[in-house]
Amino acid sequence: MFLTTLVLALREIRRHILRSFLTILGIVIGVSAVVTMVTLGNGATAAVKEQISSLGTNILQVRPGQGFGRGGGGATPPNFDLDDVAAIRGQVAGVRAVAAQAQSSGTAIRNAANWSTTINGTTADYFDVQPWPLTSGRVFTRAEEQAGKAVCIIGSTVYDNLFRGEEAVGERFRIRDLSCQVIGVLSKRGQSGFGGDQDDVVIMPLKAVQRRFTGNREIRLMLVGTDPAYDTAAIQSSLQSLLRERRRINGGKEDDFNIFDTKQISDTLTGTTTILTRIVTAVAGISLLVGGIGIMNIMLVSVTERTREIGIRLAIGAVAREVLLQFLVEAVALACLGGILGLILGFVASISIAPLMKAPFIFDPQINLIAFGFSALIGVVFGYFPARRAASLNPIDALRHE
């Protein structure tokens, strides 16, 4: 009985192929929009997580000033020094390592090639706080760090522009007026979560950068690696108290430094992306309701057109339940066909747009099943009223219909 009804429904859909396509167009657009938005949203979320994780996990970034600047219109807050680094390392429980950093910039020159880049002076703890694998060479030793030797580790962007595929380890290049020996090449990281190229960097011992580039012993950034076994919030609170004490900030005065938790920003950005995805998906889902209304309208027209057919079926012994099932199956078949076409269109759109957004394509079977199931439900809900109307026709009146 059901199989026969399904065959009749498909035959009726095929008889009016153009009208059927226009009927399900809203369902197709709705399903494809929902699948595309959720898939791209998942990819964007994954991309954000990857970019933030490139900053390192279980890391607190400590900078002078409020936010990412040096503060408002008040006095310029002082930078940190190596005594602050030692105090944090020795007095704050849960701290694995502390990497001090001083930054500058300059033009790196090798033969006929030159490239403007960032110079990052740091300690050997840097590679312990946020592991960054090397494609070749090694990191600098404690002895080279203490002596402030002119050795450096270069990012892949600097390598590509200066060495262009040649062997870099053991070679020398000049950055500003300093001749630097390359002892390592970093693996590629790509863009950071804030749009900067992490690979455009030359990493050198802290003392070398302070002596030859910044001209002082100040530290602009401290990377504090935390033990995962400890509560990050408790470590952050202890760190804040210690720095307030060392910088003589009393009473209700605001901090003249900021502590940036990479995990918190990752959670915040991920949550924001998820909310935006849900909002856009909800808006796209309205197309499904519009498609359902379209199905109901066309099914009502179909009932009117086939009134004599319904009357004949009822007159020769069909019961109202069979007529209702016929039209309901036809509505559901239309909705499911629209759902299938929508899934295909959504898949093609997602896999095409994801590379343009520089986000991974993440196939989510759950949202595909939900979108298809919702399209079938639309067919049931909006197809029931026309089907009920067809089943309630009086056979005599139906046969008289012109």
State phi, psi for 63 to the nearest 5 degrees. Answer: -130, 150
Q: From 387, 392, 397, 380, select the one nearest 302 (Cα to Cα).
A: 387
Q: From 201, 177, 185, 197, select the one nearest 115 (Cα to Cα).
A: 201
Q: Do 291 and 27 form a contact (C-beta atoms < 8 A)?
A: yes
Residue 182 to residue 202: CA distance in whole angstroms: 9
Residue 93 to residue 371: CA distance in whole angstroms: 50
Q: Do 199 and 160 form a contact (C-beta atoms < 8 A)?
A: no
Q: From 153, 63, 138, select the one nearest 100 (Cα to Cα).
A: 63
Q: Which amino acid is at 10?
A: L
Taking every pair of Cα atoms in the chain, the longest distance, rounded to a whole number of angstroms, is 105
Q: Do 174 and 109 form a contact (C-beta atoms < 8 A)?
A: yes
Radius of gyration of the chain (CA): 33
Residue 399 to residue 309: CA distance in whole angstroms: 8
Whether the CA torsion 227, 230, 232, 238 is positive or negative: it is negative
Residue 254 to residue 91: CA distance in whole angstroms: 22
Q: Which amino acid is at 168?
A: A
Specify the length of the chain in residues.
Answer: 402
Q: Which amino acid is at 73?
A: G
Q: Do 133 and 189 form a contact (C-beta atoms < 8 A)?
A: no
Beta bridge partners of 221: 101
What is the pTM assigned to this prediction? 0.63
Along the 402 residues of the chain, how does pLDDT read in single tens digits? 567 766 766 777 777 778 778 878 888 888 888 888 888 888 887 877 776 666 666 889 899 986 554 444 456 788 999 999 999 999 999 999 999 999 999 999 998 899 999 999 999 899 888 878 899 999 999 899 999 999 999 999 999 999 988 999 999 999 988 999 999 999 988 776 555 788 999 999 999 999 999 988 899 999 999 988 888 889 999 999 999 999 988 878 888 899 888 777 767 777 777 787 778 777 777 777 777 787 787 777 777 766 777 677 777 776 777 777 777 888 888 888 888 999 999 999 999 998 888 888 888 888 888 888 888 888 888 888 777 777 777 666 656 655
Q: What is the dihedral of CA 160, 166, 168, 173, to 10 degrees?
A: -70
Going along 239-290, which residue ranges are E strands? Answer: 257-261
Return the DSSP state at 216.
S
Q: Which two tokens stand for residue 264?
A: 């918190």
pLDDT at position 70: 45
3-state class of 118 per DSSP? Answer: strand
Beta bridge partners of 106: 117
pLDDT at position 69: 47
Return the DSSP state at 213.
I
State phi, psi for 124 to the nearest 5 degrees. Answer: -65, -20
Q: From 244, 158, 145, 256, select the one nearest 204 (Cα to Cα).
A: 145
Burial class (CB in 10 A: 0-12, 13-18, 19+), 370: middle
Residue 351 to residue 2: CA distance in whole angstroms: 37
Helices (H), 148-256: 156-162, 206-209, 232-246
Q: Do 30 and 286 form a contact (C-beta atoms < 8 A)?
A: yes
